[in-house]
Each structure stands twice: as structure tokens, then as C-alpha cells.
Amino acid sequence: MRSQSVLFEDIRRPLINDIPNPADFEEFLIDSEGKLWLTSKMDKCQGTSEIHVFCGQGHLLEQKCVKGKVSLYESSHWLVAACEGEDGYGYVYQFDKTAITLLNEWQIDGFLWDLAIDHNHLHAVSYSPKDNHAYLTSISTLGKDSLCLGEGFFPTGIIKYGAGFYVTTCQLTEPNRGKLLQLDESGIIVNTVIVDTSPRQLFRYDGDLILHGLNMETGRADHLVYIHLQTLKAATYNIPKTKDIREQNQHLLLYNDDKQSLFYWNHQKRKVTSVIHLSRTLNS
């Protein structure tokens, strides 16, 4: 599970009263033990963010300081903070989920884009501007092992599936052209699917991977690309302009900032099936 924008937490229920200004926070994750993990907006001067951990009753349990902008990931025993630093490095922090103690910390060269957890291993994708290469870095208590995926593109998402991985990429010289890379368990590319979009986020539902695409010419993130895992055939669907997306069972929740609306996109029907207008909901 990955953390979500606090925009969705505002919709689900009010943020905890102990937080002086909810606008200072960006993402949240409710772990399997019922604790709420909140990430602050990064302090540009310090290049750091804070992680606040609350119990189910709303009391502050811990507060951690990390380098960079944070995304949170949960496994059965860990809470992992993957951070995009301001100094050209990525930082990965591994916390014990129950004790909220730091177990390990790693530094990754380049810009860290996404992370996947597989049993006792973490798999991060990053881009290094020093050599114009994309990397897959596998991390465990034994250390780090980096594999070059290629040059001239940066990876935007990774999903562990079966024995291998799927990685989305954006081409640096073709801003509206992206790829889905299928990797085997060793990180070797075995299949490539070209898509006419700049992949922004990567999801999985049933037998499909779903790419949230950004049109770099218009700046609009207004379509989804479904890729069937068995055939690797792609189909594109238009969606409302979307600032952020959250997964919810057979739906994607699409947040439109302009209209202050939440659209429920149904994977099975491949269309919007309901809309919530937030300005009315929050004022009622």
C-alpha cells in the first residue's frame, strides 16, 4: 500500500484536531494496525520533511525528520519512507511499523521516483542526471545492488508482479511518448510496450496495468491507458482533468481541483459512474 494525498483524507473524515494546520501536510497512510502516518510538506530551506504518527484515537505517538519529499509504503512489518531529495539523491528509510523505530537508512544516487516492496527486499527506480541513465536498485539488509535500465528516459513507476517487475518510463527527447518495461526477476528487460503518453502514475487491477498519462503539450492529465498483462495490448480512455488519484477496490478516485469534485472511475465499466462535489459536501 502507498500513501495518498491528504485531499482524500479531508473527504473521508476531518484531520486529527492535534494538527495545527492540515494545509501543511501532503500525504497520509493508515496502516494495518490503525495508525495514521502523515507527511509534512518539504521545508525548501532545510530540504527535510517530517513524518507524524498518530494512534487510532488521535494522539501523537512519534515524529520523525527525513531528507526530501516523502512517499510512504507499507508491508506486513515495515513502513518505508521513500524520499526525493533536493540534493540530487534519494533517501529510503525503513521503520518498524509497530515500534515506530528506524531500522535502516539508504542513500540512492539520482532522483528517486517510485518503490516496490517484495518480502525482504525493496526495489527502487531512479534517474541519474550525471550519466543520463535510469536505474533499478534492489535493497536489503545485505546492501544495495543497482542495475542500469537504459539511457535517455526516467522511470515513473514500478510494480512487482509474479517473479518480475513492470516499470513505466518517460522519454526525455519525446515528452509525449512513454514505455512500459516488463522485467524478469533479474531485472532484465524482456518486453517493451510503447504508449503515446507521458506516464505519471502506475496502478494494477485484476489482469491489467493502468497508466495515468500526462499530455506534456497541454499539461493536462486527462487519460488512462489500460495494458493487459497477458497480451500487452493497450487501450486508452479519456477521463476528467485530474490532480490526484487514489485506488479504492474496483475504482479509481479522480480528484479535480478546478471543479472541487471527486469522480469515481469504474475499472470494469471503464467509465465514471458517480461524482461527488466537494464544496457542497464540506459545507453541508
Q: How far is CA 87 from CA 48, 69, 116, 220, 271, in A?
A: 11, 11, 23, 28, 41
The H or E element containing residue 231 is none
Query: What was the pLDDT predicted at 9?
Result: 56
Query: What was the pLDDT predicted at 283?
Result: 47
3-state secondary structure of 280: helix
Query: What was the pLDDT predicted at 263?
Result: 94
- Return phi, psi of residue 282, to 5°: -75, -25
| C-beta separation of 59 from 18 below 8 A | yes
Query: What was the pLDDT predicted at 6?
Result: 57
Spell out the domains of the chain, with CATH numbers in brackets: 1-109 (2.40.128), 111-238 (2.120.10.30), 245-284 (no CATH)
| C-beta separation of 244 from 6 below 8 A | no
Query: What was the pLDDT predicted at 44?
Result: 84
Q: Report the relative pairing of strands 234-238 and 220-228 from DSSP bridges.
A: antiparallel
Residue with cell 512519534: 62
Q: How many CB atoms lie within 10 A of CB 139?
A: 22
| CA neighbor of 192 nearest in space, from 159, 226, 160, 166 | 166
| CA neighbor of 64 nearest in space, from 81, 44, 88, 43 | 81
Query: What was the pLDDT predicted at 11?
Result: 40
Looking at this protein, which amino acid is placed at residue 224?
L
Q: Which residues of the chain fall short of a pLDDT of 50? A: 11-15, 281-284
Query: Using CA atoms, how far apart are residues 215 and 5, in angstroms rounded to an integer?
Result: 21
| CA neighbor of 11 nearest in space, from 261, 183, 207 | 261
Query: What was the pLDDT predicted at 12?
Result: 43
Q: Report the relative pairing of strands 251-256 and 244-248 from DSSP bridges.
A: antiparallel
Query: What was the pLDDT predicted at 152?
Result: 93
| C-beta separation of 245 from 265 below 8 A | no
| CA neighbor of 90 nearest in space, from 62, 116, 109, 70 | 109
| CA neighbor of 161 nearest in space, from 191, 183, 190, 137 | 183
